[in-house]
């Protein structure tokens, strides 16, 4: 089909409500709907009402579809992002510690400045430039103290790690050459180093969606994480050939159990699903998910 000029005009909040009604959506409280649309982009909400459409070409809604149902899904997704970010914070702090601890002990305080410890000089230079940029922007006291008192370009690895994003940390681990260091870092979570590398990359994708207020619910991720054969509690527990969020959530639960076995994160996830009456299937959970021992504490 040849491209054509975009000819749609901007609509008022009142027109947006009228348009939804004309397509079959029930909106008993027009003032509330308009108030929400004043602070919630109409276009942003479209992904949440797609499952309620009978015909996407003409945007006709199923009988009985309400504006409140759509807003409920939107609110669920917002709270899910916050819950996932809470888990990501704990994960990020833990991985920073493992990376810096083992590199520092095995290769010295400035191992990150040694190009020979990395698989690709080009990637190391790119990662180093990004780290230098993050350090230069940092207002942390330890950064100022180091730059005023020491000759090296960057603080030691255990200090530099504190200003690294999860995405940058993932790239540093991916390029790390010494197998002993890679295995030592991954062993903190009883994972193979290749699986751990894949998981870090996947976690960074999920975190980026959350950080930019993107949609997690009913989302497909372009890169599937590597599924582990060990430890036994993980074997065969994942949704196969899935691009949904479910596998990422299962990975998060496992990682949080490694970091703090007494965490209540899975219970909070199931409480959120129950509060908004959203089925776990919407996040890609397979039919036999309840038999998974990683979920049993909450199911």
**Is 282:218 a contact under the CB 8 Å cutoff?**
yes
Q: Using one digit for the tens of pLDDT, what is the confidence trace for 224-265?
A: 999 998 898 998 899 999 999 999 999 999 999 999 999 999
Closest by CA to 251, choosing from 264, 262, 239, 241, is 239
- What does the alpha-carbon distance between residue 167 and residue 206 come to, in Å, rounded to a whole number? 10
**Is 68:28 a contact under the CB 8 Å cutoff?**
no
Give the pLDDT band of residue 168 (cuts 50, 70, 90): very high
Closest by CA to 209, choosing from 179, 249, 162, is 249
Rounded to an integer, the average pLDDT of 75-101 is 97
- What does the alpha-carbon distance between residue 278 and residue 83 come to, in Å, rounded to a whole number? 15
Classify residue 165 by burial, with Cβ atoms within 10 Å: 0-12, 13-18, 19+.
middle
**Is 202:248 a contact under the CB 8 Å cutoff?**
yes
The pLDDT of residue 280 is above 70 = yes
Q: What pTM does this model have?
A: 0.92
């Amino acid at each position: 089909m040849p491209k054509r000029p975009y000819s749609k005009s901007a609509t008022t909040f009142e027109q947006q409500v009228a348009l939804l009604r004309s397509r079959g959506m029930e909106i008993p409280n027009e003032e509330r709907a308009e108030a929400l649309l004043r602070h919630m982009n109409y276009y942003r909400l479209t992904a949440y009402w797609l499952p309620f459409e009978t015909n996407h070409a003409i945007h006709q809604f199923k009988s009985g579809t309400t504006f409140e149902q759509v807003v409920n899904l939107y609110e669920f997704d917002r709270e899910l992002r916050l819950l996932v970010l809470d888990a990501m914070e704990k994960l990020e702090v833990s991985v920073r510690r493992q990376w810096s601890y083992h590199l520092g002990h095995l290769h010295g305080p400035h191992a990150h400045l040694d190009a020979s410890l990395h698989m690709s000089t080009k990637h190391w230079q790119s990662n180093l430039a990004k780290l230098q940029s993050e350090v230069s922007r940092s207002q942390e006291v330890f950064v100022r103290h180091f730059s005023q008192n020491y000759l090296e370009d960057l603080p030691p690895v255990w200090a530099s790690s504190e200003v690294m994003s999860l995405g940058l940390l993932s790239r540093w681990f991916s390029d790390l050459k010494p197998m002993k260091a890679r295995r030592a870092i991954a062993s903190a979570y009883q994972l193979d180093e290749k699986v751990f590398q894949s998981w870090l990359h996947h976690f960074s994708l999920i975190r980026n969606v959350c950080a930019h207020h993107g949609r997690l619910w009913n989302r497909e991720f372009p890169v599937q994480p590597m599924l582990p054969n060990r430890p036994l509690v993980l074997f065969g527990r994942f949704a196969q050939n899935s691009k949904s969020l479910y596998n990422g959530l299962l990975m998060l639960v496992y990682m949080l159990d490694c970091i703090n076995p007494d965490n209540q994160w899975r219970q909070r996830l199931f409480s959120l699903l129950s509060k908004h009456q959203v089925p776990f299937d919407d996040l890609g959970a397979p039919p036999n998910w309840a038999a998974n021992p990683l979920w049993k504490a909450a199911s």
